Structure formats: C-alpha cells, structure tokens
Amino acid sequence: MNANETPRAPEARRAWARIDLDALRANVAALRAKAPTAAFMAVVKADAYGHGMVPCARAALEAGAQWLGAATPEEALALRAAGLGGRMLCWLWTPGGPWQDCVEADIDVTVSARWALAEVADAARRANRPARVQLKIDAGLGRNGAQPAEWPDLVRAARQAERDGLITVTGVWAHFSCADEPGHPSIARELAVFRTAVAQAEDAGLEPEVRHIANSPGTLTLPEAHYDLVRPGVAMYGISPVPQTAGPEDFGLRPVMTLAARLASVKQVPGGHGVSYGHHYVTPGATTLALVPLGYADGVPRHASGAGPVLVAGKLRTVAGRVAMDQFVVDLGGDLASPGDEAVLFGPGDGGEPTAEDWARACGTIAYEIVTRIGARVPRVYAGAR
C-alpha cells in the first residue's frame, strides 16, 4: 500500500500496479539457472524499476539472491532500514554522501577515483572500522569508473589503504555499454579491458571476493561475462533486455507488473466531437468515449498521445487524443462498457493486454522507462507476498 492511497476495497480503486512476486521469484530462478556458478545481485535501484523496492528485494532474497544492488547510498540505507540483510552494493558516488552511514550499515560502496577513495578512508576513520570498497573500471561506457590510464594508480592507492586498515577491497567491476546488442564489437573490447583491470588489481596485491560485469543482457547472452557475480535488473522484472532479438518468454521470464485502472466515465457523443486538449482526435461518427483515470502524473507518457495501446471492453484500443496529467480517453466505437470496468494498459500479455514493450514501441522509448516512471500516486498491489 502506497502512502498516497488510503486503504480501499480493490473494486473501489482508481488505478493500481499489480506486482506479481511469484513471477519475480521465478524470474530470479530462471536467471540464476543461466549463471549457475555466479553469485546473484538483484538490482533494485529506482524503487525496483518502479515495482516497489522493499517487497521486490525481499522476494529476490527468498529466491536465492545473495546481493542487493542499488544506485544511491540512500537506496541501500533504506533497504537496511527496512530490515533487509544480505550483501549490498551501491555505485553512484557523490562528494559528501552518507558514506559513514554506509560503512556502519555494512554496505559495500563503489569507488572510481582517488578523491572518492580519500572520502571513504575518512568515513572509515570516523566509523572506526574498515569500509568495504569495490573498485570500478570504465571499460568503455564512458560514465563512472576509472579510466584504464588511471587504474594502476587507483589500485595501488587502494592496496595501501587496505594495509592501513581503512578499507577492504571486496570487488572489482565494470558495466557494459552495448550488451543489449548481441555481437556488438564493443562487448569483446570491454571484456578485454576488464580482464586487464582484474589482472592489474591482483598484481597490486588485491584479492577481490567478486569480479563482475554482467547486467541482464550479459547474464542471458554472454556466459564469458559471468565471472563471480551477475547483476540483472530489468530481466528480473520480466522484461527482455534484448527486445530486438527476443521476448521475455524466450528466456523463460514473465512480466511482473500489470498496470490497470477503472473507467471513470463512459458516454455517448456525436460525430465530429473533439477529444482532449488540442482536439488532436475528433470522433469519426457517433460513438462511445471511455475515460481512463491515469495520466502523465502517473507515469503514462504524453508521447503515448494517439498511440498507446489499452485493453478495454475485451478489445485493444488506442489512446484517443492527448494524454493529460490525470487522464486519457479511448474511443470504444460501438462497444459497450460501464464506469468501473477495468482498463489494462500493460501486463504479461497473455490476457490479450499489451506489454510494457508494446508501450515502449508506441512511445519511442524502452520498456525500462515505461515501468520505472509509474508514479507514486499509483498504489502497488502485491500478489504472492510470503
């Protein structure tokens, strides 16, 4: 139950995102079977890609994940505050962050530069215990991570901080740029940079417990990238990380989120009636309009105007006219429906409803963004909680 929503009978909800935790656990099992010798880090950043961080993290641990992965230290600290155990890693370092809190909460932190190493050493001194640090190399993505030219200096300094009792280097890792495009030449290049970085770290005397580079596409399509640990995110939520090549079912994955709402209005209008702001849709003849009470404030992209698919009254329809902040309209043609009937925007797809991938195609984006942006005003309703 979301803080913005008073508890209410299911049949009286405006809208909801149903989160199928059984599907999430089965997806974790399917992914673990692809990388049987690697440890499993469930990536639950960004509120578990919009699915709800704490329930999804708990379900992933129940399904055998040993690690939880978060972007920010605040996310990792929130997981600990919710009582979640297991190993945890966060990776988006900013100056002055709550690093001492992370050290005290047994959260591994990621360091890509000498200045961050100095900050984590300070945090360890204040906490009066060594920090668990993972070092990140920029194997080619060009975001965080030490450049290969800076890496030997970083690993030497990290080894010295270990000798000084300030840190323990628990991991060495990198992130792919184009693993979602199987066969992309950058994949072999980045693996080679990573191999060299691992060797240099070991030559400097570091003994990282985990070496890792595989995100969802790496886990599913690149066995040579599994190393000691895999870090799938989107695939755990049942979304294919390589949608050009394969759907989730090809990997034995099932979408976890279903987004639905109850019609707020159903009415007859004459032909030639404009629909929603700007009148970008005009009824071609006398028809029935149904109002879906979800809009861009709920994460339904405005780019879905005139394009997003919705299952209403047993058929696939298309958003008529513009998506507004709180609502959009569908034209039911001659079909009947009643206020309170369900409209399904996306789900697993086996009930005739669209999928998040269908929405991504209709809106010119990726399914990651469709699920992650579902707003706080939409309550998450969990099925399969233990």
Ligand X SMILES: *Cc1c(COP(=O)(O)O)cnc(C)c1O
- Output the smallest distance, CB 236 to ligand X, in A: 8
Quote the CA–CA distance of 292 and 294 in Å, as a whole number: 6
Please work out the total of residues on this chain that contact ligand X, with binding judged by CB under 6 A.
13
Site for ligand X in 312-331 (CB under 6 A): none
- Output the smallest distance, CB 136 to ligand X, in A: 8
Quote the CA–CA distance of 121 and 290 in Å, as a whole number: 59
Nearer to ligand X, 232 or 299 (CB): 232
8-state DSSP, 171: E
Place of tokens 């698919």: 309
CA-CA-CA-CA torsion sign (46, 363, 264, 21): negative
236 assigned to a ligand binding site: no
CA-CA-CA-CA torsion sign (273, 275, 281, 286): negative
Nearer to ligand X, 327 or 355 (CB): 355
- Output the smallest distance, CB 343 to ligand X, in A: 28
User: Is 137 in contact with 111 (CB distance < 8 Å)?
Assistant: no
| Structural element, H or E, at residue 253 | none
- Output the smallest distance, CB 67 to ligand X, in A: 11
User: Is 255 in contact with 271 (CB distance < 8 Å)?
Assistant: no
Site for ligand X in 200-239 (CB under 6 A): 215-216, 231-235
Quote the CA–CA distance of 267 and 289 in Å, as a whole number: 6
- Coil, helix or strand at residue 264: coil
Binding mask 95-124 for ligand X (x = CB under 6 A): ------------------------------
Give me 352's structure tokens: 């005739």
- Which residues partner with 42 through β-bridges? 68
8-state DSSP, 347: S
Residue 91, interface with ligand X (CB under 6 A)? Answer: yes
Nearer to ligand X, 15 or 42 (CB): 42
**Residue number with the smallest Cβ distance to ligand X:** 233
Q: 257-262 and 15-20: which strand pairing?
A: antiparallel
Nearest alpha-carbon partner for 99 in 57, 137, 129, 138: 129
Binding mask 20-59 for ligand X (x = CB under 6 A): -----------------------x-x--------------
Of these residues, 34, 45, 136, 227, which one is catalytic?
45
- Output the smallest distance, CB 217 to ligand X, in A: 6
User: Is 58 in contact with 76 (CB distance < 8 Å)?
Assistant: no
Residues 6+ apart with CB under 8 A from 82: 54, 57
Nearer to ligand X, 216 or 283 (CB): 216
Nearer to ligand X, 211 or 231 (CB): 231
- Output the smallest distance, CB 71 to ligand X, in A: 6
Nearer to ligand X, 46 or 292 (CB): 46
Give me 156's structure tokens: 């030497």
Quote the CA–CA distance of 361 and 367 in Å, as a whole number: 8
- 267 flagged as catalytic: no
Quote the CA–CA distance of 378 and 13 in Å, as a whole number: 10
- Coil, helix or strand at residue 31: helix
Site for ligand X in 59-88 (CB under 6 A): 71
Quote the CA–CA distance of 41 and 217 in Å, as a whole number: 14
- Output the smallest distance, CB 178 to ligand X, in A: 11
231 assigned to a ligand binding site: no
Residue 31's identity, in one-letter code, is L
Of these residues, 49, 267, 277, 281, which one is catalytic?
277
- Coil, helix or strand at residue 16: strand
Nearer to ligand X, 140 or 295 (CB): 140
Binding mask 236-265 for ligand X (x = CB under 6 A): -----x------------------------
Place of tokens 């030449």: 185
Where does this chain bind ligand X (CB under 6 A)? Answer: 43, 45, 71, 91, 175, 215-216, 231-235, 241
Detail the residues annotated as belonging to a binding site for substrate: 143, 325
Detail the residues annotated as belonging to a binding site: 143, 325
User: Which residues are part of the catalytic machinery?
Assistant: 45, 277
